[in-house]
Amino acid sequence: MTATDWNPLHGTDWDPLLRQEFTKEYWICLQKCIEQERSCYNVYPPRDEVFAALRLTRCSDTKVVIVGQDRITAPATQAHGLAFSVVMLRRPESVRSGGRGVLGGQARPQSEWPR
């Protein structure tokens, strides 16, 4: 599959909302650039895990989408398409401290986070 016909949300209820974006020139150029980088370097998340959060969560069940980047450089942890989530051998500080920002500096178990 080439960058020009890649739709990572095909078969989800996000697809009708975002399908047109995937045909726009900026998206195609961006995907070609990323594919070029993948041919030379390890790029995370892996291609099949891009938009993992949207494939795991129905659009109709979504109230808020947080878009961002958590820079993870440690070889023991790598991004895999879910915000503030890593495939772990060791949890990076940026993920450990993520909840503290939401909770006013106090670390609490995730079960106690506000809903």
Could you tell me whether strands 86-88 and 77-79 are parallel, antiparallel, or unpaired per DSSP bridges?
antiparallel
36 Cα distance to chain centroid: 19
70 is catalytic: yes
Among residues 15, 48, 61, 70, the one annotated as catalytic is: 70
Tell me the three state secondary structure of residue 11. Answer: coil
Do the Cβ atoms of 80 and 46 come closer than 8 Å? yes
Number of neighbouring beta carbons within 10 Å of residue 41: 8
Question: Which sequence positions are flagged as catalytic?
Answer: 70
